Structure formats: C-alpha cells, structure tokens
Amino acid sequence: MLTTGIALAVLSGLFNSLFITSVKLESRWKGENIWLVEMVVSCLVMPTTMVFFSSSGWWRTLGQVPRFAAMSALLFGLPGGFCAILFRQECR
C-alpha cells in the first residue's frame, strides 16, 4: 500500500508539472477551451474513472464516511480546486 501511495504521488507530481504543455503544443485552440477540457478531465473524468476501476465497493464505503470528514474534505477541497483554477489562468 505504501508503494502504491508513493507511486501515485510521483505520478501526480509529473502530471501537475506537465499541465501547461497542452497550451504550448495546441495553438489552434484558445486558452479558455483548453482550460475547460483540462478541468473536466482532471476534476471529473479521471477521479471518477480511477475510483470506479480501483475499488469495488466505493459507493458503500462513501456512505460510511463520517459526515464531519466529508464536510471537511469539501470545505478544504473546494478552495484548493478554486486556487488551482486561478493558478491555471495566471499561467497563460
């Protein structure tokens, strides 16, 4: 489990450092279009796909999470995601 966590952290760092590559390589699209595709894929498609294929009872497990923990994740996750969106706009 520790090895999987380290591998995912390294992979996350690699992908995080490559996010601006799409802007440099794809000059036919406007920045807002690239941003929209990146946000949909990175915030909706990839997490959902990873959870669906890596965990068999994820919906049941999510239902067992204490309400305080779920609310804390939302409370801290939403501003973090918002900051990531604003950071992306500054990198154009």
Span 55-79, mean pLDDT? 86
Question: Residues 80-91: pLDDT tens digits?
Answer: 777 776 766 555
Does the pLDDT value for residue 56 go beyond 70? yes
**Cα radius of gyration (the chain):** 16
pLDDT for the residue 89: 55
- How far apart (Å, rounded) are the C-alpha atoms in residues 9 and 11? 5
Please tell me the distance from the alpha carbon of residue 57 to that of residue 51, in angstroms, as a whole number: 10
Q: For 60-71, what is each residue's pLDDT tens digit?
A: 888 898 999 989
**How many CB atoms are closer than 10 A to CB 9?**
10
Torsion of CA 49, 55, 58, 62, to 10 degrees: -100
For residue 75 the two structure tokens come to 């409370």
Whether 92 shows a pLDDT value over 70: the answer reads no
10-48 pLDDT, tens per residue?
888 887 777 666 666 666 777 667 777 777 787 788 888
Cβ contact 90:21 at 8 Å: no
